[in-house]
Structure 1
Amino acid sequence: MKLRHGINPQQEVAHAEPVTPGRWPVRLLHGEPSFINMLDALNGWQLVREASRALGRPAAASFKHLSPAGAAVSGAMDEVTAELHGVDRHEVGALASAYLRARDADPKSSYGDFAAVSHPVDAELAELLTGMVCDGIVAPGFAPGTVERLSKKKNGRFLIMEADDGFVPPREEAREVFGLRLTQQDDETELSSSLLRVVDGALPEAAVADLLLGLAVLRYTQSNAVCYLRDGMTLGIGAGQQSRVDCTRLAGAKVDTWWLRRHPGVRALSFRPGIRRQDRINWQIRFIEGDLTPDETRRLAEALSTPAGELAADERAQWIQRLDRVAFASDGALPFRDNIDHAHRHGVQYIAEPGGSIRSDEVEDACREHRITLARTGLRLFHH
């Protein structure tokens, strides 16, 4: 398969070919993918397939630059997500709910994403995608008429890929870097509740499901990576940081933003007619962050139909303290208790990590201090 270009446009010559001749894990139905599009599609498909198999529910992911901006399984949507996309939260279908919940974790980053879903695309999801800034989708099938409908998106440049649900990858994977071929055994460890060995406390069924989703997310997120989850959806994903605590803090800030988008003061922002959905999202987030430049202050005022006040620091803090039942998963061992202390600030009550650091005792003590249930998996999930 000839690709549009490599990782960068100046890398004009790029191709994809199956390791086993004639055995493709995905089939291109429409569009011309780039090198990154292929990587997002392959990683996204593996994530949603694994999450769906582990939890027995439709799963979706919103991918950007080789890591998920958000992921979720089907479930109830709150009023904020439903209002944003103009859907009835009581009537939305399972697959559509999974994707909307996945995209809502970090809607700013999901702008121009590559979508992945575990089940065949139905008419409802296809209709939703036509109104979103999304570059493509990978799925194990498409309902009649959905490929034709989606192929018109982006002036005919929308990418549509069909995954082979029965594809089994080779037991050995290889990568060529700077003239050197690296090979390793494929990681075939199945994600199941048996991995979650509780050190202290108890894991409710909902927390087990959230942590399993978190492990699936981390398996296909650039390391170092951590993930905050609640009610079958990610609230914040931190990826590719050299310091794990920096990853924990960055993802935690996304959790706070997700939760503050539900604050009455943010929901009360009234935008002028004609302001696009993505612009409303971006302005809500900048309003929450609060460090607007003079130009942003002017443009936000122009976008609003009525002047906006400010969220006072104590009001923000009180609202954030109301968030609870958050699960936290880490792809590698938590090396210091600072990760626990920061995670606690974002409503975390359940943690899963491989264990095995030289300060594991301090991590355990911190969890007891904050009344956090700690589970050790013994499984590192680095992804590079």
Structure 2
Amino acid sequence: RYLKALSEGNADSLARLRKHLALKVFQRTANYDRAIADYLLEQVDATADEPNLDRISDIPEKFDLSLERAQVLRYGENPHQKAALYGNFFDCFEQLQGKELSFNNLIDITAATYLIGEFQKPTVAILKHTNPCGVASDVDLVKAWDKAFATDRQAPFGGIIVANQTVDEAFAECVSSIFCEVIIAPAFSEKARALFAKKKNLRLMVVKDSLPSNSLREVRSVVGGLLLQDRDMGSTAPTEWEVVTERQPTETEMRSMSFGWKVVKHLKSNAIVYTGDETTLGVGAGQMSRVDSSKIAVWKAGEAELSLSGSAICSDAFFPFADGLIAAADAGATAVIQPGGSVRDAEVIEAANARNMTMIFTGRRHFKH
């Protein structure tokens, strides 16, 4: 290009080309310097087998982002918005079939991957607009799917399905009648792939063994800058939880609360989940009032003809008043798990005791905006 511009003798064109090439040179050398700096940063704790979470969590005085464009997307969140993908997303996932991933697909895949990472038992989750609308664990994926899908048979339309074990033919047959955008799993059997191949637009994604250490952070844009925070990973251990009511939880209630606590942190606040038998029974999310989220979750359980008798209610933040807990008790819940920390905690505890409910304070909030 430079020789051609030089031979044409157009001074203005040559000047523009020089600036363009100079920009590319300095971008390349800057990326090289950044790669050296990143390598040296890793050497600070090179002997560790796992990422040093304390070091990674340190908030740097200066924060730079320089990522290569990986893919130009058809459009952004809506058709009138331009968008592109940057970074190493495809180092973490392999697409086996289907249409090109959309902006919304990429966000949903990320949310689904973080959610399913909470579970060790065979687990299936269904998400829509990043919110889980059905999650269940069981002895195998087929049984987990049946329970997860029973939570809400309408919301999964056009959603995301994620599993934490290899998808086999039996599971593929179960979900093949559902229209979904993406199915994510660690692997797909040959027979499962043959079944899914009939759905040319369905995207199959294999999630690789581990996510990069920079996934331990989240970046959000705000007016005039960026927000950087540690990702909301894990939670307090059950050994650190406090039973604040007169009645202790049964093993079944404890299992329901532990399961629901893993799910509720992945819902948009205000978030309420009713759980039982390691499955979601009713989900309410994204409401301005916590009691409204609880009412929606109860309504959804009723629509699905799922009983909330003996269920656990899981809340991502404290109950500011006793009304949310009372509504849960009226719906049939017998156990409550929440962070605690409200100035009216005593009022909420009193309401729980009056209804012979058991309640746990975890000491950690899980707001999600």
What is the deviation of 1:23? 7.0
Partner of 2:15: none
Which of 333, 337, 340 is residue 348 of structure 1 equivalent to? 333
Q: 1:207–1:139: structure 2 CA closer, same or farther, 3 Å change rule?
A: same
Counterpart in the other structure of 2:205: 161
Larger RCO: 1 or 2 (CA < 8 Å, sep 6+) = 1
**Distance across 1 between alignment mates of 2:314 and 2:265:** 11
**Does 2:178 correspond to 1:132?**
yes
The 1:334–1:25 alpha-carbon spacing in structure 2 relative to 1, beyond 3 Å, is farther
Report the secondary structure of 2:341's partner residue: coil
Q: How many residues align?
A: 296
- Matches of residues 1-12 of structure 1 in structure 2 within 5 Å? 1-11=71-81
Whether contact under 8 Å (1:151, 1:159) holds in the other structure is: no
Task: Give matches, 1:267-346, under 5 Å.
Answer: 323-346=308-331
The residue type equivalent to 1:28 in the other structure is: Q
Aligned to 2:131: 67
Matching residue within 223, 231, 234 for 1:186: 231
Amino acid at match of 2:335: Y
Identity across matched positions, percent: 32
Letter paired with 1:42: T
C-alpha displacement of 1:219: 1.7
Q: Aligned partners of 1:331, 1:65: CA distance in 2, in Å?
A: 18
**Superposed displacement of residue 30, structure 1:** 2.0
Q: Name the counterpart of 2:363.
A: 378
Instruction: Please give the alpha-carbon distance, in whole angstroms, between the structure 2 residues aligned to 1:70 and 1:357.
Output: 29
C-alpha distance in structure 1 between counterparts of 2:89 and 2:287, whole Å: 38
- Relative to structure 1, the CA distance from residue 147 to residue 247 in structure 2 (aligned partners, 3 Å threshold; closer, same or farther) is same
Q: Does structure 1 retain, via aligned residues, the 8 Å contact 2:235–2:364?
A: no
Indicate the residue corresponding to 1:48 in structure 2. 116
The match for 1:269 is none
Matched with 2:62 is none
* Unpaired segments ≥5 residues, structure 2: 1-70
Q: Is the 8 A contact 2:108 2:160 kept in 1?
A: yes
Report if the CA contact (8 A) 1:255-1:346 is conserved: no
- Closer, same or farther: CA 6–363 of 1 in aligned 2, 3 Å: same
How many Å apart are 1:106 and its aligned residue? 1.2
Residue type at the aligned position of 1:158: L
CA distance in 2, matches of 1:2, 1:222: 28
Q: Distance in 1 between matches of 2:92 and 2:334?
A: 38
Is 1:258 aligned with 2:326? no
The one-letter code of the counterpart of 1:67 is N
2:8 corresponds to: none
Counterparts of 1:92-171 in structure 2 under 5 Å?
94-153=140-199, 156-170=200-214, 171=216
> Which residue in 1 is equivalent to 2:83?
14
Of 16, 36, 56, the match for 2:104: 36
Q: Please, which moves more after superposition, 169-178 or 247-256? A: 169-178
1:314-365 CA distance string (max 9 Å, x none)? xxxxxx7xx5210110000111000011101221001000000010000000
Task: State the shift of 1:367 in Å.
Answer: 0.3
Letter in 2 for 1:58: P
Of 170-179 and 230-239, deviating more is 170-179
Kindly indicate whether the alpha-carbon contact (under 8 Å) linking 1:195 and 1:376 is maintained by their aligned counterparts in 2.
Answer: no
Query: Cα 1:22–1:188, aligned 2, differ >3 Å: closer, same or farther?
Result: closer
Distance in structure 2 (CA, Å) of the matches to 1:105 and 1:195: 30
Q: Tell me the secondary structure at the aligned position of residue 117 of structure 2.
A: helix
Q: Which runs of 5+ in 1 are unaligned?
A: 76-93, 261-319
Q: 1:25 and 2:69 equivalent?
A: no
Structure 1 consecutive aligned stretches of length 4 or more whose deviation exceeds 6 Å: none
Deviation at 1:382, TM superposition (A): 1.2
Structure 2 contact 241–360 (Cα < 8 Å) conserved? yes
Counterpart of 2:206 in structure 1: which amino acid? E
**Contact 1:191–1:215 (Cα < 8 Å) also in 2:** no
Larger Rg, first or second structure (1 or 2): 2
Q: What SS does structure 2 have at the residue aligned with 1:43?
A: helix
CA contact (8 A) 2:163 2:185 kept: yes
SS at match of 2:86: coil
Aligned residue in 2 for 1:296: none
Per-residue CA distance 1:252-277 (angstroms, 9 max, x = gap): 111222336xxxxxxxxxxxxxxxxx
Deviates most, 171-180 or 98-107: 171-180
Task: Identify the residue that residue 198 of structure 1 maps to in structure 2.
Answer: 243
Deviation at 1:147, TM superposition (A): 2.8
- What is the aligned partner in structure 2 of residue 236 from structure 1? 282
Kindly indicate whether the alpha-carbon contact (under 8 Å) linking 1:172 and 1:186 is maintained by their aligned counterparts in 2.
yes
**Closer, same or farther: CA 4–193 of 1 in aligned 2, 3 Å:** farther
CA distance in structure 1 between the aligned counterparts of 2:228 and 2:333, rounded to whole angstroms: 38
More divergent stretch after superposition (204-213 vs 222-231): 204-213
The Cα offsets for residues 38-58 of structure 1, whole Å up to 9 and x where unpaired, read as 1111111221220x23xxx11
1:103 positional shift: 1.4
- Give, as a single letter, the amino acid of the residue that structure 2 aligns with 1:351: V
TM-score by length of 1: 0.73
Q: Residues of 2 paired with 1:328 and 1:107: CA distance?
A: 21
CA drift of 1:134 comes to: 1.9
Residues 45 and 117, structure 1, Cα contact 8 Å, conserved in 2: no
Distance, in Å, in 2 between the alignment partners of 1:336 and 1:255 is 23
Segment of structure 1 superposing worse, 176-185 or 112-121: 176-185
1:174 to 199, 203, 219: 219
